[in-house]
Amino acid sequence: MENINTAISVQINKKDKELATVILNNLGLNMSTYINMAIKQLINKDGVPFEVVNSKPSKELLDALSEGDQIIKDLESGKRKGYTNMNDLISSLKED
């Protein structure tokens, strides 16, 4: 079957286009490639089947990472005990 290309024109908000272009560039894509991908997937899945986003960590994840950093600092400074195996942990618990 012969490939016949055609053009489409879409009107979108200028700011939305700028923001989308930045995101696509960060993903290594351009607007034309993204639209072609979206249309192919739309056809293949008979609906919008995917989400392409830049992951943004949740507040809970950022808090947990911060807490982990603090635990490491406390271990390094001696403010906290650390264990490399279960036997040492159990022995320490029995001592307390």
Alpha carbons 7 and 39: distance in angstroms, whole number: 13
At residue 96, the pLDDT reads 72
Regarding whether 24 and 8 lie in a shared domain, the answer is yes
Regarding whether 44 and 1 lie in a shared domain, the answer is yes
Paired tokens of 81: 């005990």
Regarding whether 49 and 7 lie in a shared domain, the answer is yes
Q: For all residues of the chain together, what is the average pLDDT?
A: 92
Regarding whether 82 and 44 lie in a shared domain, the answer is no
Regarding whether 45 and 83 lie in a shared domain, the answer is no
Regarding whether 72 and 26 lie in a shared domain, the answer is no
CB burial readout 4-24, b (16+ within 10 A) else e? eeeeeeeeeeeeeeeeeeeeb
Regarding whether 5 and 41 lie in a shared domain, the answer is yes
Q: pLDDT by residue (tens digit) across 12-46?
A: 999 999 999 999 999 999 999 999 999 999 999 99
Mean pLDDT of 50-59: 84
Domain range for 65: 59-95
Alpha carbons 90 and 4: distance in angstroms, whole number: 71
Regarding whether 88 and 43 lie in a shared domain, the answer is no
Mean pLDDT of 3-10: 88
- pTM of the entire predicted model: 0.50
Is 73:82 a contact under the CB 8 Å cutoff?
no
Number of structural domains the chain divides into:
2
Regarding whether 73 and 50 lie in a shared domain, the answer is no
Regarding whether 66 and 39 lie in a shared domain, the answer is no
